Chain A
Amino acid sequence: MADLLLETAPRSFALAGRYPGAVVAVQVGRKAGRSGLLWGLIFAFYVVAQTLAYTSAYPTQAARDQMASAYSTNIGLNALIGPARAINTVAGYASWRILGILSILGAIWGLLTATRLMRGDEEAGRYELLLAGQTTRRRAAGQAIAGLAAGLVTLFVLTTIGTVLTGHASTVGFTLGQSVYFAITLAAGAATFLAIGALTSQLANTRRRAAAMAGAVFGISYALRMVADSDPGLHWLVWLSPLGWIEESRPLTGPRPLALLPVVLLILVVTAVTVHLAGSRDLGAAVLPNRDTAVSHLALVGSPIGLAVRLMRPVVLGWLIAVAAFSVLLGTVAESSAQDISGDKSVQETLGRLGGHGSPVAAYLGLTFLIIALMITLVAAGQITATRAEEADGHLENFAVRPVSRTSWFTGRMILSAFVLLAAGVLAGIGAWAGAASQHSGAGFGSLVAAGLNVVPPSLFLLGLGAVVLGVWPRRTSVVVYGYLAWSFLIEFIGAVVHASHWLLDTSVFFHMVPAPATSPNWGSAAVIAGLGVAGAVIGGIFLNRRDVLAG
């Protein structure tokens, strides 16, 4: 009988059955491994795409020198992704651009994954059952960290494959040692914030609070690194930030492995403290005090839509502030970037090849608004997966057994989500204008708000796609939505490198977005994309109404 169960159960259960003392590690490792697989693929593709894009866009040393002279003095870009050192070489460019972006992405992945799998699972009551088995709270925490490490190793291995393969290309030429060291530095941000997320999971009693605390550590760390890289007089601040330590490891250009020592020490200390705290607190409780009672605020809890506003408020406000702040930053650095590249034909040609036209400021913003588009589509993905989570957690049933139709509940959620996306687009435009205006760049308010609105239709399309999946195949909503988003982003990068088939490029939702404000928004095309999103929401709503409500 036991054998039969093991045969038919998922592999993780079979593994847990074979190693009953490691059941937590197996469970966490399975989930972290799956996530590490997806993000490892994204890391690897990003490494390949960015490096080959460089060798393709700047084939000659002269072109690379010109590009380097334009970018290396750009304070805005230095602040955003770190100082550009020796970017007239493939190694220097890869070290700057790829490390700058992936250490940030990895850190965010790490803190979200750790808090989801440690505090999130504990909050959902999953640890209660596991801790009744052959383990203690302290050992369970150690196992959970081992599971997270399995996810990290998956991400690292795939990233290493990416760096080694890229390094072997004749136009690149990294040694094996260089490639592996590069991969280590790329995964260092993820490792650091996995550990910090595990620690905050002991401090806070909800996943959201644990993620917010880890996010605050990330924000401070990023801000310190930004200031350090903006002002040579304050460069010492780089040593106060984990992201600064990773930056100072300088892979490919002048390796300083000792700079990673504080990263290793931090991870070890934080992990030890995490395991200690896990053993000294009650299951379900947190180290920091939390209030069990609260004054009731009834203003928003009178309807499903009001409740959605109240529950989403912290996350949505966080995203809107992030979009606005990033847009202000882009607007602020746009003028200096434009000055750097004004008169530089090769850089302008490159921008033009990637879709930017018009004035240098407009071309720069047209390109960088792709990042805003990605951020807003991430908001859309979050909205539709949160809608599905309401159903999966059994919360929808509380309304569906009362005089509330599923159609009205779903319509309310979709309208609210569309409003959030629209607000994010408008804020992006206003933020970019405010930043640009502070530098007297001359970018018009109307054109930048239009550019902000121009990035909304792809997110509406993704919302509609998610709605269809939620209606037809609800348990796969998250996988399909984030999978398609990752695919679109990859296609966007690959498309910039190779002359991919038009059919392939068409599958990316970003491909149908013009780079406003570099060119005027194509409202006809935008309306079609947004219309497809609306149609998807309607179809999803119809299917939702015609199927069983599915919890879990």
Chain B
Amino acid sequence: MGAPAIRTEGLSKRYGSVDALSGLDLEVTEGEVVGYLGPNGAGKTTTIRLLLGLARPTAGRAEIFGLDCQRQTVQAHRRLAYVPGEANLWPSLTGAETLHLLGRVHGQVDSRYRDELIQRFALDPSKKVRAYSKGNRQKVLLIAALMTRPALLVLDEPTSGLDPLMEQAFRHCVQEAHETGQTVFLSSHILSEVEALCDRVGILREGRLVEIGTLAAMRHLSALTVELVFDAAPPDLSVVSGVKRVVVDGRHVHLEVHGPIEPLIDALGGTGVRELVSREPSLEELFLAHYGPDGNAPVTADGAVLAGQPGA
């Protein structure tokens, strides 16, 4: 087993009096697809800039395949490709010239795959960058990254500006990369994208990693959402072990169960329950549990502010 694709130890970055990233400890093993979530300003792009050596850490260190991101930057970059959320390309070059330049600079290009990607993303490479739409400029960067078939793909909001068809093409490419053993580190706001593609998900909040794990584990550790409908007035279920956040609306009850569901099932015996629907939280609910509309107060999926949570 080689060195992890990404490893950080106490990685921190401070801008003036603002802690953009605080003590990040993260490990991404080779071949994983890891999603990186957080609202604007949470520290996602700062993490990526530190991994790429574009910014210097205030404290801590980061490695790419065991190579120090600050001291062995060039060697590390030979093994990765990066797609930023904003395409800052040279307006006077054509798409073909841009791909040629970025490929030559990287040093290795799978030409056949590049041509296939151009077809898949429906890019006209004879156009000047100046004439491209935002989405088309983003396609150039995606193709430039994927055509090098890197060991690690670092993607920061890679699908911004892409239409749904191209978004599908992108997902297909990431799945292919996963199948061929490439590692993918995906920072995104599109939760469905992360849910569909990622093995593990990390959630950042105010520069701190507050959650990381597989979606299954995160769901297991999270509350189960239960909707109940009674024939008559519902009983008081808030006293049941593990039951929290009970909301009663006439004969409808909405609640969360933390831990085993058996105490609730036992308590429902003879209460006239007509319907019972339980479901695991979606990634969106898991994500929103860490953030509120203002980025602080955790909320339920329907927008209600939860009491007793950190930051609430």
B88 touches which one: A205, A307, A394, A548 (CB < 8 A)? A394
CB pair A397–B90 under 8 Å, yes or no, is no
Complex interface: chain B residues within 8 A of A291 (CB): 128
89-134 of chain B: CB within 8 A of chain A: 89-94, 96-98, 100-102, 104-107, 124-128, 130-131
CB pair A292–B97 under 8 Å, yes or no, is no
385-404 of chain A: CB within 8 A of chain B: 393-395, 397-404
CB pair B93–A405 under 8 Å, yes or no, is no
Q: Give min CB distance, B67 to chain A, whole Å.
A: 12
Cα–Cα distance between A296 and B105 once the two chains are bound (Å): 17
Complex interface: chain A residues within 8 A of B96 (CB): 296, 298
Asked whether B3 is an interface residue with its Cβ less than 8 Å from the other chain, the reply is: no
CB pair A401–B74 under 8 Å, yes or no, is no
Q: Which of B28-36, B77-85, B170-178, B183-191 contacts A (4 or more CB under 8 A)?
A: B77-85
Q: Mark A280-311, 1 if CB is under 8 A from B, else 0.
A: 00000000000111111110011110010001
Q: Which of B52-60, B196-204, B228-236, B268-276 contacts A (4 or more CB under 8 A)?
A: B52-60
Asked whether B254 is an interface residue with its Cβ less than 8 Å from the other chain, the reply is: no
Residue in chain A with minimal CB distance to B134: A125
Interface residue range, chain B: 35 or more
CB pair B100–A298 under 8 Å, yes or no, is yes
Asked whether A18 is an interface residue with its Cβ less than 8 Å from the other chain, the reply is: no
CB pair A294–B56 under 8 Å, yes or no, is no
Asked whether B49 is an interface residue with its Cβ less than 8 Å from the other chain, the reply is: yes
CB pair A294–B107 under 8 Å, yes or no, is no
Residue in chain B with minimal CB distance to A404: B105
Asked whether B160 is an interface residue with its Cβ less than 8 Å from the other chain, the reply is: no
Complex interface: chain B residues within 8 A of A296 (CB): 94, 96-97, 100, 125-126
CB pair B104–A303 under 8 Å, yes or no, is yes
Q: Give min CB distance, A397 to chain B, whole Å.
A: 6
CB pair A302–B100 under 8 Å, yes or no, is yes
Q: Give min CB distance, B92 to chain A, whole Å.
A: 7
Cα–Cα distance between A401 and B79 once the two chains are bound (Å): 11
Residue in chain B with minimal CB distance to A314: B92
Asked whether B214 is an interface residue with its Cβ less than 8 Å from the other chain, the reply is: no
Q: Give min CB distance, B140 to chain A, whole Å.
A: 11
Cα–Cα distance between A399 and B102 once the two chains are bound (Å): 8
Q: Give min CB distance, B102 to chain A, whole Å.
A: 7
Cα–Cα distance between A401 and B84 once the two chains are bound (Å): 10
Cα–Cα distance between A311 and B93 once the two chains are bound (Å): 9
187-213 of chain A: CB within 8 A of chain B: 205-206
Asked whether A62 is an interface residue with its Cβ less than 8 Å from the other chain, the reply is: no
Cα–Cα distance between A132 and B86 once the two chains are bound (Å): 21
Cα–Cα distance between A336 and B127 once the two chains are bound (Å): 54
Asked whether A539 is an interface residue with its Cβ less than 8 Å from the other chain, the reply is: no
Complex interface: chain A residues within 8 A of B94 (CB): 293-294, 296
**Contact of A393 with B88 at beta-carbon distance under 8 Å, contacts A294-B94, A296-B100, A400-B54 already known:** yes
Residue in B49, B53, B98, B105 with the greatest tally of chain A CB atoms within 10 Å? B105
CB pair A395–B127 under 8 Å, yes or no, is no
The 12 listed contacts between A and B (C-beta, < 8 Å) are: A206-B91, A296-B126, A297-B97, A301-B104, A395-B90, A397-B54, A401-B84, A405-B74, A546-B56, A547-B56, A549-B54, A551-B88
Q: Which residues of B approach A to under 8 Å, CB–CB?
A: 49, 52-56, 73-75, 77-78, 82, 84, 86, 88-94, 96-98, 100-102, 104-107, 124-128, 130-131
Q: Which residues of A approach B to under 8 Å, CB–CB?
A: 123, 205-206, 291-298, 301-304, 307, 311, 393-395, 397-405, 546-549, 551
- Shortest 6 CB-CB contacts between residues of A and residues of B: A394-B88, A292-B131, A296-B96, A548-B55, A401-B82, A301-B101
